[in-house]
Amino acid sequence: MIDPKTGAVVSSQPISEFSTLISNTNSCTNTSYACYHSGATPYAHQGFYGTAGTLNGSWPSRIGGKSGSYTAKFCWADGGTVCSPIYGPGATWSYADGRLRTGTSVTIY
């Protein structure tokens, strides 16, 4: 909380107590969504939208993605956690070796 008269912080909460501001859906039909693309059936593409934050999860069989209208970063498991660069709006990417990986988080900036 902030004192409205002085701007001084009078109390705070750990970030973990705030819910993420990103929503997730199993569709990428909205072209504005950041998207983690599926590379195998029966897994659906995963769309992400909202305001700045990180959404952690487990999205198996990912082949790549797109940033949509967002500035976004994607992370996945590959012998540890690996993350993409921060992509600006309109970027599309895929793994150079074509292998499928499990997505672990999406960050919208």
pLDDT score, position 8: 67
Domain spanning 22-108: which CATH class is it, in words? mainly beta
Domain limits of the chain? 22-108
Question: 22 to each of 8, 38, 94, 100, 108, how far by Cα in Å?
Answer: 28, 19, 22, 24, 8
pLDDT score, position 46: 98
pLDDT score, position 17: 44
State the residue for tokens 């709006």. 89
pLDDT score, position 94: 97
pLDDT score, position 83: 97
Identify the segments of the chain with pLDDT beneath 70: 1-8, 11-20
